[in-house]
Structure 1
Amino acid sequence: MAAGEDRTTRSTVRTITDLARLAGVSPGTVSRALAGKSLVNTRTREKIEALAREHGFRPNQMASGLRRQKTGVIGVVIPLGHDTRQQISDSFFMTLLGFLADELTTHGYDLMLRRVVPGDDADWLDRFIGSGMIDGVIVIGQSDQFERIEEVADGYRSMVVWGNHQEGQRHCVVGTDNRLGGRLAAERLIAGGARRIAFVGDTGPMEFAARFAGAQDVAVRMGLPEVLPLATHLSPDRASEEIAGHLARHGRQIDGIFAATDTLAALCLTQLRAQGLRVPDDVKLVGFDDLPIARQTIPPLTTVRQDIAAGARGLVDLLLRRLGGETTESLVLPPELVVRETA
C-alpha cells in the first residue's frame, strides 16, 4: 500500500504548484528555493530541495521550462491592504488601466486583472506569479505591501510597480515624485492666502504619505502651523461621510485643503458647499492626479498633475525590457501644478 501511494504521489508532482502543495508553501517560495535565493530560510529550502530530488523534479529543467513558457498575457494586480472597500472603479485605477490596456495591446499582449485584499495572506503575489498564466506582472500601488513586494523582487525580475520610489528599494517602480507634488500643492495654497492647511486622505500608503510630507515641508519652511492630517478612506461609501465629519469639526479653523486625490477633492467641494463654505473665498482647495473630473467640477479644480499616460508607457517599456533580460532603473516622473479656480 505504501509503495502504491508513493508511486501515485510521484506521478502527480509535475509542476512548481504540485511541489509547493506537497511542501506546504507557495509556488513563489519553491521557485526562489530552487533558484538558491537566500530569501528562503535554510530549513525550508532544504526541505524543498529534498522533495524535488525525491520526486525527480530537477531545478534546471524547471528554470528552462519557465524561460520557454510564453502566455502572451501580462498580469496586473491591485493590492488593497490599506482600504479593503476601495473599488477598481476608482477613477485613478480606471484611467491608468485604460492606458495600460492600450499600451499592452500595441505590443501584442493581453491583460489579466486581479484585485486582492492581502490581509494575513503573505503569498498573494507569489501565487499570481507562480500560476503559469502570465509572462510578467505589473503591480498598481504598494498599498501596505512594500515589504512583500521587496521580498518577491529578490527572486522574480519580471515585475514593475506603480508607486512611490525611495532610496535603496529593490523593486523597480514607475511613479510621480509625490513629495515634490505635495510641496507644489502647499505652495499654491499659501500663495493664495491659506495659512491653516489640512490634508484630506490616508497618510499610511506610501504615495499619500509622501504627498503629505511634501506639504508639511512647505508649512514648516514658511513658519506656518503644521498641516492637519484628516484621515479619510478612498471607498466612496465612507469618504463623503468622513469628509463631512472633518469639516463639521475643523471647517471654520482651516482655510486651505490639500486632498490626496482629485476624487477626494471633488467630495470636499460638495461638502464645503453643503456647510456654507465658499471655494476659493473661504477655503482654497488643491487636488492630486489631474483626472478628467478635475476639469468638470464647479469651480474647476486646481490640482497637481501626474502624467498617467507616460506612466503607463513607462510601466510597459520597463517590464518588456526586464522580460528580455535587462536590468532597469526606476522611473520617477515630475509632477506639474495645474492652476484652475479652486486655489
Structure 2
Amino acid sequence: MKIAFFSTKSYDEDSFGSILANYHHEITYFETKLDQFSAPLAKGYEAVCAFVNDSLDKNTLTLLKENGVQLIALRCAGYNQVDLEAASSLDLPVVRVPVYSPEAVAEHAFALILTLSRKTHKAYNRIRESNFSLEGLTGFNLYKKTIGVIGTGAIGRAFCKIALGFGCEVVAFDVFQNEEMKDLGVKYVSLEDLFSQSDIISLHCPLTPDTKHLINKTALSQMKNNCMLINTSRGALIETKAVIQALKSRELGYLGIDVYEQEEDLFFRNLSEQILEDEQISRLMTFPNVLITGHQAFLTHEALAQIAKTTLDNITQFEKGERLDNQIALK
C-alpha cells in the first residue's frame, strides 16, 4: 500500500526504513503535522500514518476520505486525537499500536522520579561549571516511600514492578483491578485514599472525557504536602493552572512531566531561537522543583522497532482483508 507518513522525524525513518523491505508497502515521509491544512498531501495514498499530536478531526478525516485514503494507522497507543465517530461514519478504520514497550515509558517515569528526588540534573549543571558544592542537593530515599499508581494497564504494571523493586509501598487505582499486581503486593485503594497516602503519584491512564483534568484543584488539595506528581501519559490529565498554583503555594513538592496539556504546538520541534508564547509552560520552567521532558518516554530503540513492526503489520492486515487485531472500536 502507498502510505503518507506525517510528523516524520529522523528516528521514524530509521526504524521504519530498517524493516520496510520485509513488507510490500511504499512510504512517503512528510515532516508536517497532519491536520485539515496538510490533509491534501495524502491525495493518491491508500493509508496515512499519524502520531500523537496530529489532528484527525472530522474536517481532516473528511478530506482524507475524499482524497482516497482508506485506512488511518496510528503509530502510538493513544487515540484521543481522532474523532472516532467521524471515522466510523466515513468508513475509515483506525488502527493503533496498543503495546510497544511498556518498560520504556515506565523506566522514563522512574528516571523523572530519581532525577527530582536526588537533584542529579542540578548536580550535572554544577559540575560542568566546576562547582562541586553539595549545598542545596539534599534528596530523599525512595525506599519505604508510598507510591500511588493511577492506571495499571501494561505501562502501569511495569511501573509497579520497578517501584516494588526499590522497596516502595505501592497503592493503585484502576476501574479494573489486576490480580497479578495484587499477588505482588500492590494494594488497590480509592482515588481519594491514593491521593492522601502517596508520597509520589504517577499517572498511567488514558485520556478520556472522564479522566480529563483528573488532577485538578480538588485532587491536589487531597494530596500530602510535598507530594511528587509524575505524568508520562497524556498532558490533559493534569489541569496545568491548578498545578502551577499548587507549586506556587508549596502544596505540591515536585512535578515531573513528559507530556503537556498544550504540547501540540511545542513538542517535537526546535524552538530554541524563538520566544515561547505559551505562558503556562514558561511558568513551569521557572520552578526549581519541576522537570520537563518533551514526550520522549517512548523513545528507545526497542520501542521504536516494535512500533514500526506493529504499524506495518496493521497495514498489511488491512491490505489482505484480514481481521484488524488492533482496530479501535467505537464505544
TM interval, shorter chain, is: 0.3 to 0.5
Report the TM-score when normalising by structure 1.
0.38
Relative to its length, the structure with more helix (as a share) is: 1
Report the TM-score when normalising by structure 2.
0.39
Of structures 1 and 2, the larger Rg is shown by 1
